[in-house]
Chain A
Amino acid sequence: MSLSLHLPVLVILLPLMASPLCILIDRARASWLITLIASLLSFYCSVLLLQQVQITGTISYELGGWQPPWGIEYRIDLLSAFMLILVTGLATLVLLFARYSVEQEISKLRIVPFYATLLLAIAGLTGICVSGDVFNVFVFLEISSIASYTLISMGRDRRALNAAFKYLVMGTIGATFILIGIGFLYMHTGTLNMQDLAGRLPALYDNRTIRAGFAFITVGIGLKLALFPLHLWLPNAYTYAPSVVSALLAATATKVAVYMLLRFLLNIFSLDFSLDAMPLDLILIALGSTAIISASLVAIFQVNLKRLLAYSSVAQLGYIALAIGLANHSGLTAAMLHIFNHALMKGALFLSLGAMVYKLGDAELHSSQGLIRHMPLTSVSILVGGLSLIGIPGTAGFISKWYMIQATLELGLWPLALIILAGSVLAVIYIWKIVESIFFQSPPSTVAVHEAPVSMIVPMAILAAANIYFGLNTHLTVDLADSASTLLVMGGGQ
């Protein structure tokens, strides 16, 4: 048996099968270790897959040995491999961090099912990234969604329950919209396979059923990715979820939803149809711009740092939507870069807040006063993440914003460039608020804490360093994003 042939399914199987294993073994410490190892191995498989894809081109794997479109196909191109690395890599770092944080925030009896559910969330997210079958995407989307609702509800504050419920209702409406859309596409094509759909759809672009299906799928995914104004579930969900869950979801879940959007818009349909024949490009640009300005404004007034970052996430998703709406090669490259870089920033920031919650009990702005005296490493990591979020040169955030502005100028749309800059200015304000409190205010006299344990510092430091590394050395990410967006612009035919 040659394992390398089966990598596409192993990436998913490792976290998927580790989940029931945790339940069978039923030991808290062991389930953390299993979860960490499973995601590490899954990350290793993703790296191997990326290498394979770079050498041999797109990989197709027939599940059950049935040839598509009759069976389900896994189809891994550069974009899928890129997303796999992002999801499994961040999951591994978050899990490295998780041990103490989870022991503190989750009651002892629930630790084993917590990790089992976390594994299912990761498996669901990775499953979406590799699937070449639209209905299979729906199934894995629901695995990850149900797992996320549950994980969010485990926050210590009772508001976590209400937030989880709201997310559940919005998410399920989104899923049902996607289901209806798939039904409409199936009505006229008779297939669920993405490649097959891409081949059959161009002849049907004037068909009203196909157009309605397109609209329903887009709105459904918009709900899942918290596209403004469908973002209302997100701030509370990220604020009250356990620290580890906020970090994982903020870094990966919405990114995977963006990936789904790209697949549907550009591979199953095509650039010309989605962003030209349909007025979606304008809608994305308008909603994206509104999200950047309004969510950043709201973020300025937040006193809970997790909530502040959650609103900032809504704004960052606005940047990505705007970049996709530009509908050209550089716009897509910028969008993909920002997917990656934003995952790095929010990973670093939410993990740092997790360390703060671990030591101080909450993530309120006033608790962060003078944090630099007790937790210097955590403070520096927040600073780096914040600078990257603003887009200061030398950080990863600068690269994606730079490409985004270039893309707008290529089209002569300088007002959009101004909006992007305005977003950065607003980010300066809300990040400054945090920095001022951490670095320049004296700590409350009652507080006497020390730096977080090493297992928390290491993943945080890796992510903070990555924010600087990918800000200085852009070859790896820019080349990947560039080739992936070339594939997307060409459409699904290859």
Chain B
Amino acid sequence: MSHFPGLFNYWIVIFLMMAGFYVVISQGNLVKKIIGLSLFQASAFILYISEANVDGGHVPILEEGITLYSNPLPHVLILTAIVVSVSTTAVGLALIVRIKETYGTVEEDELQEIDNAQDEADTPDQKQQIAEEKEI
């Protein structure tokens, strides 16, 4: 089925994967990170399915008179991987919802600032100060 010469197919897939990967590591918005992660994974699936393809092959469902089929094994692996991917995405999004509720933001920089501020507030000097203020 593939009309592509040689490896060109793979290279486009690599470009797609890297686009997703770039979104994950460069973007500050958590939702966008998860979208990037899904893009990255979906493109990795294309790599496997391209691997499975056989020129002139047929959908791997047995039919009379057909002997050349595409490889069913990568299809099975990717079915599993798709399910794993959606599970991770669901957990990630659920975490984002709670992060928004407790922090009030879903931007990585702001989250980091809030975390750092809280870390500092945990150091003993300040705690003592707070305690003293309370006593007063």
Contact = CB atoms under 8 A, between A and B. Distances in A.
Contacts of A161: 95, 98-99, 102-103
Interface stretch (A91-99, A176-184, A459-467, A476-484): A176-184
Contacts of B44: 176, 179-180, 183
B97 to A, nearest CB: 10
A146 interface: yes
B99 A173 contact: no
Interface string B108-123: 0001000100100011
Interface in A241-263: none
B59 to A, nearest CB: 20
Contacts of B17: 180
Interface centre among B91, B111, B124 (most CB of A within 10 A): B91
B95 A135 contact: no
Contact of B51 (A146, A165, A175, A183): A183
B88 A146 contact: yes
Chain B interface size, as a band, is 35 or more
Interface string A181-202: 0010011000010000000000
Contacts of A59: none
Contact of A180 (B47, B77, B95, B99): B47
Interface in B26-51: 30, 33, 37, 40-41, 44, 47-48, 51
A490 interface: no
Interface string A149-164: 1100100001101101
Contacts of B57: none
14 contacts: A135-B77, A149-B91, A150-B91, A161-B98, A162-B103, A165-B30, A172-B37, A173-B24, A173-B25, A176-B44, A179-B41, A187-B51, A192-B73, A303-B124
Interface of A: 135, 138-139, 142, 146, 149-150, 153, 158-159, 161-162, 164-165, 168-169, 172-173, 175-176, 179-180, 183, 186-187, 192, 236, 303-304, 364-366
Interface of B: 17, 21, 24-25, 30, 33, 37, 40-41, 44, 47-48, 51, 73-74, 77, 80-81, 84, 87-88, 91-92, 95-96, 98-99, 102-103, 111, 115, 118, 122-124, 127
